[in-house]
């Protein structure tokens, strides 16, 4: 049987988090009352002229530098014509043959392997409005608040080979735009979405097969599932000796399948031409260097620093670098107390657990990194036990208080004083002669009983190491 391999390219659209639209003064906030972010340019009124928002160009250059692109010196906007009511002018202002960034790449990690995926181009464009088609209505509802919101479209080379790789690429792209603070990455609200181009070819051949485009995938899961489905569908078509039709399909999550939306025959005829309303943009070295100076440490760099510098395993590295805020948090906590693994563990288990439960983001975390660092320090210095630390942590999360003040106020300090513990052990042993006899008859699990009794008397505060040591000595010595 013929073996096929998938050839996948992704077009990722990211909404830039500017305060105003790309060519107009209206604001960009999501969730506003429909059509309250409109102005003559957004509405496409005759005579209204677009003027470019400078920050949009800054953001695109920033993304280009972070994804190893070369920045185009002479840029131009073009009109892309298609007729749809969410686009009042009858064309979308985009870039065509002079995109702002070109020839970049990302390193994508899948299952411990790293693969380079090329980025063909990143271009600037305006978003369209929203259509709502009510089921029992004869008209469609148009909201133009989103029309004119700045977008970057990031086009990958067709170098992705599996659904998992596509998902990883998408995750990494989201991570980067969020590190750069140029897009909130909210996929549910559509701030980040992607189209996937998929074709199959016989293994070992170069020639690309006919491609199918799947539109508007707005979750990592959908990206992977839609591509997986499409690979299976195309394989079946080819195995039956039929041909793939070049078309645009939509992912239907409910039916877990793709369905045809339109054939490419008409859709691709966009009649691009340079937009005479907008002047060219010339980007010089100064501009590029000014932006380069604002680049934060990128996820890939943080990952390597954590892996090599802190000897963390891939699992921790991935979790701690997923969000910029988490990486910063970890760095700050380490400044207080340099126990790399313990802090990684506390953040990714206890802290993530509580944040998830309360539905909070890392940036809203009620426990400061300094306080978490201090908490782990208290454990390491035997001031509190690991078990008590969880109680202290809960209190820290609820009140935002420092671990020191909680430990002091509630008397949760660990008891490590040998005399004090020795006295308690003596008391327990005196009260349980039968259990001592059982222990000496070989029932070693009675040891647990004694420890339990001691912990009960000290409300869990006795240092378990000291307890075990003294208890054994007393049981054997007596």
Residue at token pair 């490590």: 416
Residue 35 within binding range of another protein, rule CB under 8 A = yes
Q: Contact, 266 vs 83, CB < 8 A?
A: no
Residue 260 within binding range of another protein, rule CB under 8 A = no
Binder among 2, 113, 114, 138 for another protein (CB under 8 A): 138
Binder among 70, 116, 131, 208 for another protein (CB under 8 A): 131
Residue 259 within binding range of another protein, rule CB under 8 A = no
**Residue 326 and residue 34: Cα distance in Å, rounded?**
35
Give 171 or 215: the residue with its C-beta nearer to another protein: 215
Binder among 253, 269, 394, 427 for another protein (CB under 8 A): 269
Least Å from the CB of residue 287 to another protein? 9
Nearest to 81 by CA among 44, 39, 28, 47: 44
> Among 194-202, 279-287, 306-314, 412-420, which window interacts with another protein (CB under 8 A)?
279-287
Least Å from the CB of residue 294 to another protein? 15
Give 137 or 434: the residue with its C-beta nearer to another protein: 137
| Encoded tokens for 61 | 């250059």
**Residue 215 and residue 227: Cα distance in Å, rounded?**
11
> Among 79-87, 195-203, 328-336, 370-378, which window interacts with another protein (CB under 8 A)?
79-87
**Residue 350 and residue 363: Cα distance in Å, rounded?**
16
Q: Contact, 85 vs 65, CB < 8 A?
A: no
Binder among 2, 207, 266, 359 for another protein (CB under 8 A): 266
Give 78 or 462: the residue with its C-beta nearer to another protein: 78
Give 48 or 455: the residue with its C-beta nearer to another protein: 48
Least Å from the CB of residue 18 to another protein? 5
Query: What is the CB neighbour count within 10 angstroms for residue 257?
Result: 16
Name residues contacting another protein, limited to 331-390 (CB under 8 A).
none
Secondary structure of residue 434 in the 3-state scheme: helix
Kindly tell me the sign of the dihedral angle through the C-alpha atoms of 39, 42, 43, 46.
Answer: positive
Binder among 53, 326, 374, 414 for another protein (CB under 8 A): 53
Distances in Å between the Cα of 83 and the Cα atoms of 80, 88, 215, 357 are 10, 9, 18, 46
Binder among 46, 112, 241, 276 for another protein (CB under 8 A): 276
* Number of residues lying near another protein (CB under 8 A): 51
Least Å from the CB of residue 320 to another protein? 32
Residue 127 within binding range of another protein, rule CB under 8 A = no
Residue 139 within binding range of another protein, rule CB under 8 A = yes
**Residue 29 and residue 145: Cα distance in Å, rounded?**
8
Residue 84 within binding range of another protein, rule CB under 8 A = yes
The end-to-end CA distance of the chain, in Å, is 79
Residue 133 within binding range of another protein, rule CB under 8 A = yes
Q: Contact, 130 vs 145, CB < 8 A?
A: yes
Binder among 20, 67, 156, 191 for another protein (CB under 8 A): 20
Give 19 or 361: the residue with its C-beta nearer to another protein: 19
Residue 181 within binding range of another protein, rule CB under 8 A = no
> Among 3-11, 133-141, 206-214, 452-460, which window interacts with another protein (CB under 8 A)?
133-141
Q: If you compute the radius of gyration of the chain from its CA atoms, what whole number of angstroms results?
A: 30
Binder among 30, 81, 110, 461 for another protein (CB under 8 A): 81
Least Å from the CB of residue 304 to another protein? 33
Helix (H) or strand (E) holding 452: helix 446-457
**Residue 243 and residue 214: Cα distance in Å, rounded?**
18
Residue at token pair 């003559």: 40
Nearest to 334 by CA among 320, 324, 319, 344: 344
Q: Is 55 exposed, middle or buried (0-12, 13-18, 19+ CB in 10 A)?
A: middle
Name residues contacting another protein, limited to 57-76 (CB under 8 A).
57, 76
Residue at token pair 């201090």: 374
Nearest to 121 by CA among 271, 270, 10: 10
Residue 152 within binding range of another protein, rule CB under 8 A = no
- Interaction site with another protein (CB under 8 A): 18-20, 25-28, 33-40, 43, 45, 51-57, 76, 81-85, 90, 131-133, 137-144, 266, 269, 271, 274, 276, 279-282
């Amino acid at each position: 049987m013929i073996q096929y391999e998938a050839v996948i390219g992704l077009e990722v659209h990211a909404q830039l988090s500017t305060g105003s639209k790309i060519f107009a003064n209206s604001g960009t906030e999501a969730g506003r009352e429909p059509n309250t972010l409109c102005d003559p340019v957004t509405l496409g009124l005759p005579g209204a002229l677009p003027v470019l928002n400078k920050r949009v160009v800054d953001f695109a250059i920033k993304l280009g530098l972070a994804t190893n692109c070369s920045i185009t010196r002479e840029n131009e906007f073009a009109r892309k014509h298609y007729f749809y009511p969410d686009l009042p002018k009858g064309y979308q202002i985009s870039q065509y043959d002079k995109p702002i960034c070109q020839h970049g790449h990302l390193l994508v990690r899948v299952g411990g392997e790293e693969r380079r995926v090329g980025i063909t181009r990143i271009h600037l464009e305006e978003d369209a409005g929203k259509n709502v088609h009510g089921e029992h209505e004869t008209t469609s509802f148009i909201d133009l608040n989103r029309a004119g919101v700045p977008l970057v479209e990031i086009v990958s080379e067709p170098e992705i080979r599996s659904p998992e790789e596509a998902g990883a690429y998408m995750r990494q792209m989201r991570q980067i735009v969020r590190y750069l603070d140029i897009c909130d990455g909210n996929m549910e609200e559509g701030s980040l979405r992607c189209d996937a181009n998929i074709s199959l070819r016989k293994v070992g051949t170069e020639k690309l097969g006919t491609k199918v485009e799947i539109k508007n995938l707005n979750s990592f899961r959908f990206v992977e599932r839609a591509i997986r489905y499409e690979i299976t569908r195309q394989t079946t078509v080819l195995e039956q000796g039929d041909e793939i039709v070049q078309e645009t399909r939509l992912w239907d999550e409910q039916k877990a399948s793709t369905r045809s939306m339109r054939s490419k025959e008409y859709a691709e005829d966009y009649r691009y031409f340079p937009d005479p309303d907008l002047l060219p943009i010339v980007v010089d070295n100064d501009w590029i260097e000014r932006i380069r100076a604002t680049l934060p440490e990128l996820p890939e760099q943080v990952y390597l620093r954590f892996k090599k510098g802190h000897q963390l395993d891939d699992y921790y590295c991935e979790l701690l670098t997923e969000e910029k805020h988490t990486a910063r948090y970890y760095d700050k906590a380490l400044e207080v107390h340099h126990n790399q693994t313990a802090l990684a563990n506390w953040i990714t288990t206890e802290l993530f657990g509580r944040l998830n439960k309360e539905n909070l983001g890392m940036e809203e975390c009620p426990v400061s990194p300094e306080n978490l660092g201090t908490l782990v320090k208290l454990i390491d210095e035997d001031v509190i036990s690991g078990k008590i630390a969880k109680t202290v942590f809960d209190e820290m999360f609820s009140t935002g208080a420092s671990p020191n003040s909680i430990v002091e106020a509630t008397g949760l300090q660990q008891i490590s004083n040998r005399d004090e513990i020795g006295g308690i052990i003596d008391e327990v042993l005196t009260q349980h002669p039968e259990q001592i006899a059982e222990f000496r008859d070989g029932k070693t699990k009675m040891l647990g009983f004694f420890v339990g009794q001691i912990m009960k008397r000290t409300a869990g505060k006795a240092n378990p190491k000291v307890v075990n040591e003294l208890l054994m000595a007393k049981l054997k010595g007596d």
